[in-house]
Structure 1
């Protein structure tokens, strides 16, 4: 907190934004004594320290202390920005010993202790070698842990320190604190944050990744998994923003590494236990934070929870069941209030992903959507706008339909007609860009038509609207319960359901470049696949389910088993 003298000199507003707003990437109004944004959000408003340089002139007889040959620099950046006391000084020490004979360079502290380094040159041989050394020492033990990189053979790069403080990422493979150096296989590339390289193009690494394996995991997330989250996001937050934020939020970084490891373990021979270590490290910090009002407004933690929920969906293929534990975390972030869900923010992007995840659960469990749909970023209009908003409108229509079908209210004809009209109006007023690039009717030997789209937002928008139409067709209250007209009405309902499911699966098969197209098709098969009576159609549906699990790590074994019983492929033991 600023001193009383500083507080008195502040007359109208703070000179700099408060620390809390800067951490949440929000604009601060700089009001005194607490900014208005923190007051409205119920957060602690932490003020930054102010420093004023002295303009005085020292006396000529001023006595100066003699500087020792060995200096220890302590990085207090984190303490100054957060206002928290310095925890363990030994974790933040950077040593300059007496063997350094060149002119010392200025030491620049990074925002986090783990990314700080002390780079210096040593003349260890006639051919000068550039060394980069990171230390994690206590005053009584100054042993440096260094390794050699085969990628840059002239560079000595050490493992970064492991921090116990909140939000800091622990090493998955701890260093041997009793060894002066760790022999590493020459084929292994270990790159530490802030490490120096001989290449003139690279002065340091972008992220605190511990070796080649973590770099592979991080790249796999960006190239293969982020597309599953950024379906309706023109800014591609999970592909572009999350990787950048992961360098500062270690909970988010561990979530990224956890889901990449899980996906690779399902689709390749990657270590199946690696994901658990990153996942456990996330939960260690994330679970206690959910009870903190300021933490549930942190969009980085919101994004981490979304990623962990996606991982949880993958786990169903191995555990045989979905625990839905991360859904509770998503509910906590969504229900915190509108003030944190600014359009175009990471929080808003996380909301839409969380809603799609909630819809998936609602469909599979045949329950209403439990996420609040009353936020101001939710748009139910049909006014002209961009394609991404149109896709989100279709998603909202499906959520409203699921609440109608599985909610506690009576299925009234009036409400059904309003939802059916919304589906028809969306189809009529949507942009022409939602039309497929290529369409081919199915032939007698093919189960699905060919439907090509060029954008993931078009795929997800059309598919979610088809799902809404499917549920409205199945739950049509105008179908007679009894009487001579019922048989014909049920026949028309079945024909329409088959047509919609074929279109849904055709979009999925022809647009596998965006994996969620297959996930959404599987949702339709799970709910309406039992209405197909032809063996060739049944086999095509089963093949789509198997391909989705094999290629995209989405659990479909339970759905396959249920459909095989419904189709009579295997006996239903429950009947005996």
Structure 2
């Protein structure tokens, strides 16, 4: 056991940490007005061996855990809660639950007095976790602390400017893939320089993605996220008279932040975005930034429906009035098939056992076919090579001209998959015919799935295309029966995690288990 010396900030800056007797903050942090994070005075050091005297001779004894050692069983991920002086806990999760289930619910139904309790002593704003900031270098740590910008001094620190640029160059193109005006890369950063809430959302998202790629702690991102939540709750307090675009922008960006933790996605911001989009009924058809943000959220809702089996609760009539149905550019064409895909998912979840009535199914199926037949000739691949498992090429090569065409074709094949899944069977068929129909459905799904993955791999600069391929592979990867396709899928998921920071290791383990189990069933002998 050793005595810990100095707070984390002083150790990072390599300066002397002076802690007055009885003080809870060191002198350097107090002088700079920064939060001081003192470690517990005593820290335990792991001991792997000891020296003892045996018959007068010193001997080295190695310490090993016995195989029968009892360990504490932790069935869920461990979360750390910072307690306040009175012992009450104020964590990020409770704030999100409060913001989602209480505040937005009240807005949606227009109840009076719904702000009561938002700032109670157990709320996040009253007991927000003290931010811990991780800087990249000593110079950055001196010149680039995390700042809460004041009304009269709206200046970014060097770290904040780096995170803003990171958002513009790396993350905003994901949302702009079907937006001809690239609002997330242009207008959203401008809004951030005028609105603290939007800025904190951007900084939180950039910091989290940066930490994931660097395999670092995301304390910095959590601090930005907590500050953004405080501003968002304050904005929601005035939502009955001031429910503006900035709230919608913020919640949609926070949803991307939430999606990055796809293994334990709690979907707080998904529900919040859903309610705001439905509340601001003109957002999907108002043009400009609000419309672009609404279409981005539609893709987020599709993701949750595909991967997490969440029903689409959006009012799709808002999207039907959009300008996307009256324009001929590639972005509008892509958004139309995204809309059809969302409608199919919405119908599938509403129908029992994912079977849709024949008339309804035929109507939406005809819309998808018409879209495919009338799409621009520029959507034809400039190069196409079929897949060949015999040649070790599990996915086709499909070079497209524009990013919207890549994503649009992925959603077309996704729509075909869900149409196949929801198609009703004929009445009175035999058990064999039912089993045969099931196998045919799985083969059709697999054929569309390999094309979606091929579109992603063939157009690697369109990073957004990695997402839908990953979602479908997670949901329908079991349909891939060929070993070459399975190995190619695992290589693809490895590349996704490397490029996007989208954690896929757990998906790979699940797919390997599914393939092994199905292979055992297929080879079963009585």
TM-score, scaled to structure 1: 0.61
Compared CA separation, residues 364 and 442, structure 1 to 2 (3 A): same
Give deviations 1:112-171, integer Å, cap 9, x for gaps.
xxxxxxxxxxxxxxxxxxxxxxxxxxxxxxxx989xxxxxxxxxxxxxxxxxxx9xxxx9
Where does residue 560 of structure 1 map in the other structure?
A: 508
Where does residue 549 of structure 1 map in the other structure?
A: 497
Aligned pairs (5 A) from 1:201-212: 208-210=155-157, 212=158
Aligned pairs (5 A) from 1:328-339: 328-339=271-282
Matched residues, number: 383
Where does residue 364 of structure 1 map in the other structure?
A: 307
Where does residue 22 of structure 1 map in the other structure?
A: none
Compared CA separation, residues 453 and 485, structure 1 to 2 (3 A): same
1:538 aligns with 2:483: no
* Contact persistence 1:480–1:486 (CA under 8 A): no
Instruction: Give 1:282's match in structure 2, choosing from 228, 249, 252.
Output: 228
1:429 Cα deviation after fit: 0.7
* Contact persistence 1:413–1:478 (CA under 8 A): no
**DSSP-derived class of the 1:338 partner:** coil
Give deviations 1:489-547, integer Å, cap 9, x for gaps.
34433332221111000011122212221110011112221011222211111222222
Compared CA separation, residues 270 and 381, structure 1 to 2 (3 A): closer
Distance of 2:404 and 2:324 partners within structure 1: 18
Distance of 2:453 and 2:140 partners within structure 1: 49
Where does residue 404 of structure 2 map in the other structure?
A: 457
Distance of 2:327 and 2:292 partners within structure 1: 21
1:508 aligns with 2:485: no
**DSSP-derived class of the 1:521 partner:** helix
Instruction: Give 2:383's match in structure 1, choosing from 414, 430, 438.
Output: 438
Give deviations 1:383-411, integer Å, cap 9, x for gaps.
66222111111011111111121114662
Distance of 1:411 and 1:187 partners within structure 2: 58
1:327 aligns with 2:270: yes
1:441 Cα deviation after fit: 1.2
* Contact persistence 1:382–1:429 (CA under 8 A): no
Where does residue 97 of structure 2 map in the other structure?
A: none
* Contact persistence 2:344–2:419 (CA under 8 A): yes
**DSSP-derived class of the 1:263 partner:** helix
Aligned pairs (5 A) from 1:125-524: 185=139, 189=143, 208-210=155-157, 212-294=158-240, 297-316=243-262, 320-340=263-283, 343-375=286-318, 378=321, 385-408=328-351, 411-443=356-388, 444=390, 445-478=392-425, 482-483=429-430, 485-524=433-472
* Contact persistence 1:530–1:566 (CA under 8 A): yes
Instruction: Give 1:529's match in structure 2, choosing from 459, 474, 477.
Output: 477
Q: Provide the aligned C-alpha RMSD in A.
A: 3.3
Give deviations 1:58-100, integer Å, cap 9, x for gaps.
xxxxxxxxxxxxxxxxxxxxxxxxxxxxxxxxxxxxxxxxxxx
Distance of 1:252 and 1:294 partners within structure 2: 19
1:294 Cα deviation after fit: 4.3
**DSSP-derived class of the 1:451 partner:** strand
Distance of 1:544 and 1:481 partners within structure 2: 42
* Contact persistence 1:296–1:302 (CA under 8 A): no
Distance of 2:167 and 2:293 partners within structure 1: 16
1:302 Cα deviation after fit: 1.1
**DSSP-derived class of the 1:331 partner:** helix
Distance of 1:270 and 1:217 partners within structure 2: 15
1:326 Cα deviation after fit: 0.5
Where does residue 123 of structure 1 map in the other structure?
A: none
Distance of 1:186 and 1:305 partners within structure 2: 29
Distance of 2:404 and 2:481 partners within structure 1: 32
* Contact persistence 2:212–2:501 (CA under 8 A): yes
Give deviations 1:36-71, integer Å, cap 9, x for gaps.
xxxxxxxxxxxxxxxxxxxxxxxxxxxxxxxxxxxx
Distance of 1:304 and 1:347 partners within structure 2: 12
**DSSP-derived class of the 1:561 partner:** helix
1:288 Cα deviation after fit: 4.1
* Contact persistence 1:227–1:239 (CA under 8 A): yes
Give every structure 1 segment of 4 or more consecutive aligned residues whose post-TM-superposition deviation is greater than 4 Å: 171-174, 184-193, 339-342, 376-384, 569-572
Distance of 1:309 and 1:563 partners within structure 2: 26
**DSSP-derived class of the 1:454 partner:** coil
Distance of 2:507 and 2:370 partners within structure 1: 33
* Contact persistence 2:324–2:333 (CA under 8 A): no
Distance of 2:264 and 2:514 partners within structure 1: 20
Question: Structure 1: which 5+ runs fail to align?
Answer: 1-143, 147-165, 175-183, 194-205
* Contact persistence 1:378–1:396 (CA under 8 A): no
Distance of 1:500 and 1:460 partners within structure 2: 14
Per residue, is there more helix in 1 or in 2? 2
**DSSP-derived class of the 2:401 partner:** coil
More RCO (CA 8 Å, sep 6+): 2
**DSSP-derived class of the 1:568 partner:** helix
1:376 Cα deviation after fit: 5.4
Question: Structure 2: which 5+ runs fail to align?
Answer: 1-30, 34-124, 148-152, 521-526
Compared CA separation, residues 481 and 550, structure 1 to 2 (3 A): farther
* Contact persistence 2:248–2:276 (CA under 8 A): yes
Where does residue 24 of structure 2 map in the other structure?
A: none
